[in-house]
Chain A
Amino acid sequence: ETGVTQTPRHLVMGMTNKKSLKCEQHLGHNAMYWYKQSAKKPLELMFVYSLEERVENNSVPSRFSPECPNSSHLFLHLHTLQPEDSALYLCASSQDRAAGEEKLFFGSGTQLSVL
């Protein structure tokens, strides 16, 4: 396995369900990210973890709960989502460097549909 892998690739869930998205990076990086990509909108940064500590929480509703157990794994736990949360959720990683040198490597994403 190389790069950044995300599972599942597609997810359909009801508003009362609980599900989790998984991300694993095989690049030896020490920073990991969750981004949301909705149609016709820019990528939105949701969470940033650096050295397994959350360093950014971009005003994301509490129905999204991230978890970073180690520098290679990142989860996004989902519960009581809304239809407007339907989007492509992208995980990314980078090697933590000086600010302004963040080169992100993205996973293939999870296409989420909330019914």
Chain B
Amino acid sequence: QKEVEQNSGPLSVPEGAIASLNCTYSDRGSQSFFWYRQYSGKSPELIMFIYSNGDKEDGRFTAQLNKASQYVSLLIRDSQPSDSATYLCAVPSGGYNKLIFGAGTRLAVHP
């Protein structure tokens, strides 16, 4: 069974700080990686995806991928209370149309 591991948290950061969320995966053949945000009582929404080693930036979000070490991370700069949510990492399992999700890391940004 291919696995995606995340620290469940909560990760607590002060407003304005950088929040760093990490994810490790077991399938060395994985080529693409997705980050979803899920607010309490809501459904997941896609916020970032990355295919290549290195960094990908989108506004306050940066995804970092290291295939050799099999981890992918999400950095949130200038964290806001509205960023408080659970962040889910997802990786294709090798099967067609088959995304495997981690259990998620709960982020709490306090004023």
Contact = CB atoms under 8 A, between A and B. Distances in A.
B5 to A, nearest CB: 10
A103 interface: yes
Interface residues of B, number: 26
Interface residues of A, number: 25
Interface string A26-49: 000001010000001111010010
Contacts of B95: 56, 99
Name the prevailing secondary structure of the A interface residues: loop
Contacts of A99: 92, 95-97
B43 interface: yes
Q: Which of B44, B95, B97 has the most CB of A within 10 A?
A: B97
B101 A42 contact: yes
Q: Interface majority SS on B: helix, strand, loop or mixed?
A: loop
Given A99-B92, A103-B46, A106-B43, A55 B34 contact: no
B31 A42 contact: no
Contact of A50 (B31, B34, B49, B96): B96
B97 A96 contact: yes
A45 to B, nearest CB: 6
Contacts of B49: 103
User: Which of A41, A50, A55, A100 has the most chain B CB within a 10 Å cutoff?
Assistant: A100
Most B CB contacts (10 A, CB to CB) among A40, A41, A42, A45 go to A42
Interface in B36-53: 42-46, 49, 51
Interface string A3-44: 000000000000000000000000000010100000011110
Contacts of A45: 98-100
Interface of B: 4, 8, 30-32, 34, 42-46, 49, 51, 88, 90, 92, 95-104
